Amino acid sequence: MVNTEEKSRETRPSGGVARVIETIVVVFVLGYGLHYLAYFLRARAFTWLGKQGLEEGLEHALMYLGHTFFLIALVVYALAVKKDRGYILRPAKNVARSLWFALLGAIVGFGLMGICVFAARMHGDLEIHRASGMTVKVFLIALVAVFVQASVEELESRAFVFGKMKNEGVPLVLATVVSAFFFSYLHAANPGFGFIPLLSIFVVGILYALSYHYFGTILFTCTAHMMWNFTQDFLLGLPDSGKPAAVSVCSTTVKGSSFFYDEAFGIEGSWMAILVNAACCVLVIVIGSILKKRAAARHS
């Protein structure tokens, strides 16, 4: 995906506060409409999958592929509405640069989760053990499935919701905040959801929106999101946004809730996760600003 900011500002509609509010409302309706249209199809697919008698780990991994229904809804919309097609279907202009950012995103996602888990373990909230039951087949299927799930959520919340608002006249700060709330509230039906989980995912939404804005590629946020989820679920056996894990490379015993961990929602329900991701937001702004200045200097 290319950063939609690359489009000429002259093509952006104007109209003041009323226009901004109208754009936000329209994008919200479109975003949630497309999401929940596919939500019912996914629920039926889950029901069917549960009747197939698959091993628990494989069934859990395949559940992540349910986001394919959201992807289909987005693609159908993109094919039908030409003016919004680029937000969803346009490939990256610089493939090599995007792949480097994809690698960086994977490292960042794994690292941020690692910091949070390490802090919770040192505080005594978690004990990590060697698990059994994870097979190579489940591991590889899960890796692909989680990438699909994370990428579809990024297309929804960042490429479409954030990108469309920003390109159609909504100020950057407001587009960032609104898209982060959109992303956070998508998790409202998850087990253990509450104020702190909402705030935690909201901060992650800000981090990913800023990353997309400054780095100009959706692949960074896709892989960061993927490795955050994959690490907590399939590597450590921790809940992913409140949803329990099935099989994992390691198993984790939870000793209690604290600043560093929430028994109901997992790492994502902790103040530690909020602070770590908030600190990363600052880092992205600093690095992104430097990259933009360098790019401007090269083209001046």
Which pLDDT score is estimated for 91? 60
Q: How many domains does the chain have?
A: 1
CA distance to 55, 249, 250, 279, per residue, from 237 (Å): 16, 7, 6, 26
Whether residue 244 lies inside any domain: the answer is: yes
Which pLDDT score is estimated for 94? 74
pLDDT, tens only, 154-182: 999 999 999 999 999 999 999 999 999 99
Whether residue 8 lies inside any domain: the answer is: no
Angle between helices 16-50 and 68-80 (to 10 degrees): 140
Whether residue 96 lies inside any domain: the answer is: yes
Whether residue 1 lies inside any domain: the answer is: no
Contact in structure between 222 and 151 (CB atoms under 8 Å): yes
**Nearest in space to 267 (alpha carbons), one of 254, 279, 280, 278:** 254
Residues spanned by the domain of 60: 14-299
Q: Give the tokens for residue 184.
A: 């956070």
Whether residue 260 lies inside any domain: the answer is: yes
Whether residue 5 lies inside any domain: the answer is: no
Whether residue 81 lies inside any domain: the answer is: yes
Which pLDDT score is estimated for 109? 98
Q: In angstroms, how far is CA 203 from the centroid of its own chain?
A: 11
pLDDT, tens only, 29-73: 999 999 988 999 999 999 999 999 999 899 999 999 999 999 999
Angle between helices 218-230 and 136-154 (to 10 degrees): 140
Whether residue 4 lies inside any domain: the answer is: no
Which pLDDT score is estimated for 136? 92
Other C-beta atoms closer than 10 Å to the C-beta of 55 total: 14
Which parts of the chain have pLDDT scores under 50? 1-11, 13-14
